[in-house]
Amino acid sequence: MKTQSLVVLCGLLLVVVAASAAFAEYDKDAVVEAMQSNGAHMKALQEAADNKEFFAAAENLMAIAKTMKSLDAFTPPSGDKAEWDEIHGNLIKAAFKGIGACGEEDVDKLQASIDEIGGLIKQGHKIFK
């Protein structure tokens, strides 16, 4: 009976540890650093788009996508994790669309992607700040 109880207790403990490891603890400093990085890249991205410097624009878009991907593991302190993941996923997709626009050297499509990214950043700030 004691062995059976011990096995059940160990099993429950394992489930709790595994569940907590599945979601990384929110790291405010890392998120703030990521947002500051994105702000700098958004500024450089807009300048590159204005000057039709498509390679520089694509580099900044990829940097933004990488930064957003690095935040996937975090669970936000407020708001819904699924919504957090959806906004990040949509932002990364918008960055990829922008990179495609750079390949086509299409300023209008690039600007549409920049605007979409800006809107998603604002949406995220409104929900999770």
pLDDT in tens, 6-15: 444 444 444 4
- Burial (CB count <10 Å: 0-12, 13-18, 19+), residue 101: buried
Range in 39-53, 65-79, 95-109 the model is least confident about: 65-79
Top-tier CATH class for 24-128: mainly alpha
- DSSP letters, 6-24, are HHHHHHHHHHHHHHHHHSB
- Compute, in degrees rounded to 10, the torsion defined by CA atoms 117, 122, 128, 129: 130
What are 48-68's pLDDT values in tens digits?
999 999 999 999 999 999 999
Task: Please check whether residue 63 is in contact with residue 41, taking contact to mean a CB–CB distance below 8 angstroms.
Answer: yes
Sorted by where each begins, the domain ranges of the chain are: 24-128
pLDDT value for 37: 95
